[in-house]
A = this chain, B = another copy of it.
Amino acid sequence: MDDPAAVRILAFDVFGTVADWHSGITAAVAAEGLPVDAAEFARAWRAGYAPVLARVRAGELGWTKLDALHRLILDDLLPRFDIPDLGEEQRRRLVHAWHRLDPWPDVVAGLTRLRAKYLLCTLSNGHLALLARLANHGGLPWDCLLSAEVFRQYKPEPAVYHGVASVFDVPEAEVMLVAAHHDDLAAARVCGLRTAYVERPHEFGADAPKDVSPVAENSLHVRDFAELADVLGC
C-alpha cells in the first residue's frame, strides 16, 4: 500500500518535531526571572496554541502570524500565573524566544544525510519569517520553507497537505510528512501523503514524558532523524 520507495519529498512539521520548543521556552522564561515554574509555564503557553488556532480556523480571527498568536496566548496566560503586569519589553522578548529554539541534537546531521536523496521542506503553521529565523539559528539545511502562510490556511486543513504536492507538481504519494504528532500525520494520510512518526518523548520536557507508541497506519515509525535516514537508505 504505502511503499516509501516512491517518496521524493520529505515535509517536516517543525515545533516539537524539529525544534525543541520546551527547552527553549523554559530557558527564556527562567532567564526573564518570572516567578513561575518555567517548565510548567512553557507547557501552558504551548497548550494555548490549539484553542487559539481553532478560533483562527473558525474565522473568528483572520489569517494571523504565529508571533501574534503567541502574544495573544501569553497575554492571556500571565494573569493566570499571577503576573498580570509584565512589561511590554519582556513580553516582546518572550515571544521572540520562539525564533531561537534549538533543533533536537539529531536534526542537522539527519537532514544533511536525507538531503542527498530527498527534497526537504518544512510544513508548519509557523509563518515564514519565524521558520526562516529558526533555520538560520539552527543551521537547518532546508530546500524550501512551506507554511500556513504560503497557503493562507492552517494544518490540519486538507489544502495544506495537498498544497505540498501541488507546489512540487507531484502525486501526493510522493510526499511524506514527518512529524511527532499522530493527529497531524492522520490528517496528511487522508490526503494521500505517506507518514513518518518521530518519537520525541521529551517534547513537553524531561519531567513530562509523552506516550510515543506506534500507530499502525503510519508508513514509518522512527526514534529520530538518524534512524529515519537509516531506514530510507541515506
Is A141's CB within 8 Å of the partner chain B? Answer: yes
Whether the Cβ atoms of B150 and A136 lie closer than 8 Å is no
CA distance A136 to B120 in the complex (A): 8
Given contacts A142-B142, A144-B135, whether A169 and B121 have CB atoms under 8 Å apart is no
Q: Which residues of B contact A128 (CB under 8 A)?
A: 144, 146, 167
Is A143's CB within 8 Å of the partner chain B? Answer: yes
Q: Which residues of B contact A119 (CB under 8 A)?
A: 132-133, 136
Q: How many copies make up the complex?
A: 2
Number of interface residues of A (CB under 8 A): 26
Is A52's CB within 8 Å of the partner chain B? Answer: no
Q: Which residues of B contact A115 (CB under 8 A)?
A: 136, 139
Chain B, residue nearest A169 (CB):
B129
Is A185's CB within 8 Å of the partner chain B? Answer: no
